[in-house]
């Protein structure tokens, strides 16, 4: 039992050290990690390079893959681009194993001392972040040292030694054990560190170590699979691609594991270093084999997980910088982008309405994705219109320019109020707040009226329909009156103890946000009339 806690404690320090290093590196890099992935082109080799670089910085292929799944879910990258980044992540994760194999445990305590002092006494933010990286580096190797020392008693344990012999003689068994263990701790780097700790104590042979390493490459996929739950179809395909890539790679290597072991044995003098090299060689060779077939592989994944892709494209689709020199055309493109933005806002309202009524909680995630897209579009449209304002505009174009700027702001505010409704839906479900059938019916009635108003405002913008815009102004007055009636009705239910007090507060907040959304639809209609 003492050995178990020693090894578990060492593993905990190892993981904590990795996390400290990753946090420090990410803080130092700032938003550049995200930008690196956002500017990804369709060239697979660039995706591999970026995936490798980001994984070296965050010290976790799982973290990179989770980021990729999130970006695919937000429409930031295609499935083919995601696959290329995942390939690079598999190479990047081997850097940790190479560091661990260098047996730098004697500098663990000095690194902790220096890192702590830098973190505590550093005058600048950068110095503190560097201190955190050094501290994490020291804690990581301290964990390695504790694990290695804790495993010494296994040298004379016949049962353990027999298992290690079986892993060498039956590689498939080693693969399964490595897969299960890595899935349990959700870190291939940590499991690789444990294998190298065994190697440092001469408790494991190279053939057994390689079998376990191959299994760890499959087990690490569990994190991405968990992250893909509740995401859109393309994001789930990206997670599946991660699994298939590693499974296919292991299946390709298994028949040649004897030759591979012989090859790796000649690359270093210690089993610890040979194990790290095996981890690197496996992933580099695997990526090299798959790289020319990224697009066919993406098609295979799409066939294995069929369905219509439901990604909301992140960023503008119609804003072309080349058209700014022709203001009349550029304003038309802005109008198209605003119409698209409005459609996303309506879809977001649908998501939060379903979530509030107790539908699938995944709709909350869908709403969050759309909110991010709306915010990004609002920023890009403002920047485009600012550049356009520097051109020579006619009086009519200037009026239209101002109107579109205002409409952009109103649509972004619709998204903000939809975000408020999403938070109210989450609050209702977390606290299991009851709502009467009468209250739900009233909310449904107001929701559908407001939704119809927003849709009409988008239609008026698209068709330049003045009569519809005037009708919206009339209907918005009805929404104002409805909000007052519902407020009075609900206060009556509260006074008669027919409504839970907390539910009553949520109800009033919902109708208030819906009324504000109607105000912004009214503003859009007024802007259409003015332009």
Q: Which two tokens stand for residue 33?
A: 């990690």
Kindly tell me the burial class for residue 356, based on how many C-beta atoms sit within 10 Å of its own C-beta (0-12, 13-18, 19 or more): buried
Q: Where do the domains of the chain lie, and which CATH numbers do they carry?
A: 2-304 (no CATH), 321-530 (1.20.58.220)
CA-only gyration radius of the chain, Å: 29
| Count of C-beta atoms within a 10 Å radius of residue 39 | 9
489-495-500 Cα angle (round to 5): 90
Query: Sign of dihedral through CA atoms 294, 276, 170, 153?
Result: negative
Per-residue pLDDT of the chain (531 residues; tens, 9 = 90+): 666 677 677 767 766 776 676 566 556 554 455 555 555 545 677 778 777 777 776 656 666 766 676 666 655 567 777 788 888 887 877 776 676 666 666 677 788 888 888 888 777 777 787 888 788 777 776 776 676 666 556 555 666 556 655 665 677 777 887 787 777 766 666 677 777 777 776 677 777 788 888 888 888 777 667 666 656 677 778 778 888 888 888 888 888 888 888 888 888 777 777 878 888 888 888 888 888 888 888 888 888 877 655 545 556 777 877 778 778 888 888 888 999 999 999 988 888 888 888 765 667 777 877 888 888 888 889 998 888 888 787 888 888 888 889 999 999 999 889 888 888 888 887 777 777 777 788 888 888 999 999 999 999 988 888 888 888 888 888 888 888 887 887 677 666 666 666 677 888 888 889 889 999 999 998 888 876
**Torsion (CA) 165, 171, 173, 179 in degrees, nearest 10:** 120
CA distance 411 to 406: 9
CA distance 278 to 263: 9
State how far the alpha carbon of 15 is from the alpha carbons of 138, 149, 508, in Å.
Answer: 12, 17, 47
CA distance 140 to 138: 5
Distance of CA 140 to the CA centre of its chain: 26
- What does the DSSP 8-state code read for residue 293? G
**Torsion (CA) 82, 83, 89, 94 in degrees, nearest 10:** 180
CA distance 156 to 1: 16
**Torsion (CA) 176, 178, 184, 185 in degrees, nearest 10:** -170
Question: Which runs of consecutive H residues, i.e. helices, occur in 293-357?
Answer: 294-304, 327-356
Residue found under tokens 């494209």:
313
CA distance 108 to 116: 12
Give the count of alpha carbons within 13 A of 253, CB side only.
Answer: 32
Cβ pair 68, 82 in contact under 8 A: yes
- What does the DSSP 8-state code read for residue 317? S
Residue found under tokens 């930031």:
76
Angle between helices 188-200 and 94-101 (to 10 degrees): 20
CA distance 161 to 203: 7
């Amino acid at each position: 039992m003492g050995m178990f806690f020693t090894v578990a404690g060492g593993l905990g320090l190892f993981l904590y050290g990795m996390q400290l290093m990753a946090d420090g590196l990410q803080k130092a890099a700032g938003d550049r990690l995200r930008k690196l992935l956002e500017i990804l082109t369709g060239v697979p080799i660039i995706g591999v390079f970026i995936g490798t670089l980001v994984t070296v910085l965050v010290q976790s292929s799982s973290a990179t893959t989770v980021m990729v799944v999130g970006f695919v879910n937000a429409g930031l990258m295609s499935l083919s681009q995601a696959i290329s980044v995942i390939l690079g992540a598999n190479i990047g994760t081997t850097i940790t194993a190479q560091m661990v194999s260098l047996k730098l445990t004697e500098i663990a305590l000095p690194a902790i001392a220096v890192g702590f002092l830098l973190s505590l006494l550093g005058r600048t933010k950068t110095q503190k972040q560097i201190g955190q990286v050094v501290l994490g580096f020291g804690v990581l190797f301290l964990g390695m040292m504790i694990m290695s020392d804790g495993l010494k008693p296994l040298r004379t344990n016949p049962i353990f030694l027999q298992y290690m012999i079986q892993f060498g003689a039956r590689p498939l068994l080693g693969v399964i054990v490595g897969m299960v263990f890595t899935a349990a701790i959700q870190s291939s780097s940590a499991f690789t560190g444990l294998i190298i700790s065994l190697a440092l104590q001469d408790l494991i042979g190279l053939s057994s170590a390689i079998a376990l390493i191959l299994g760890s490459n499959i087990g690490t996929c569990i994190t991405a699979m968990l992250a893909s739950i509740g995401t859109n179809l393309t994001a789930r395909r990206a997670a599946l691609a991660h699994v298939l890539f590693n499974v296919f790679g292991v299946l390709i290597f298994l028949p040649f594991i004897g030759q591979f072991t012989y090859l790796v044995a000649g690359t270093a003098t210690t089993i610890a270093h040979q194990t790290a090299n095996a981890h690197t060689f496996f992933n580099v060779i695997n990526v090299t084999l798959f790289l020319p077939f990224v697009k066919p592989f993406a098609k295979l994944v799409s066939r294995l997980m069929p369905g219509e892709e439901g990604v909301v494209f992140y960023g503008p689709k119609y804003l072309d910088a080349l058209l700014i020199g022709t203001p009349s055309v550029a304003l038309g493109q802005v109008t198209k982008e605003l119409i698209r933005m409005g459609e996303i806002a309506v879809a977001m309202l649908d998501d939060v309405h379903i979530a509030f009524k107790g539908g699938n909680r995944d709709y909350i995630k869908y709403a969050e994705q759309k909110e991010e897209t709306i915010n990004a579009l609002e920023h890009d449209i403002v920047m485009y219109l600012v550049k356009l304002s520097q051109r020579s505009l006619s009086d009519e174009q200037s009026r239209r320019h101002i109107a579109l700027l205002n409409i952009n702001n109103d649509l972004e505010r619709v998204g903000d109020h939809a975000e408020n409704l999403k938070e109210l839906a989450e609050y209702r479900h977390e606290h299991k707040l009851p709502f009467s059938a009468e209250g739900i019916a009233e909310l449904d009635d107001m929701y559908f009226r407001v939704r119809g108003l927003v849709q009409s405002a988008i239609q008026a913008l698209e068709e330049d329909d003045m009569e519809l815009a005037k009708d919206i102004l009339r209907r918005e007055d009805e929404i104002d009156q409805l909000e007052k009636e519902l407020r009075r009705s609900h206060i009556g239910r509260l006074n008669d103890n027919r409504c839970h007090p907390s539910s009553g507060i949520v109800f009033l907040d919902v109708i208030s946000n819906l009324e504000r959304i109607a105000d912004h639809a009214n503003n859009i209609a007024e802007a259409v009339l003015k332009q």
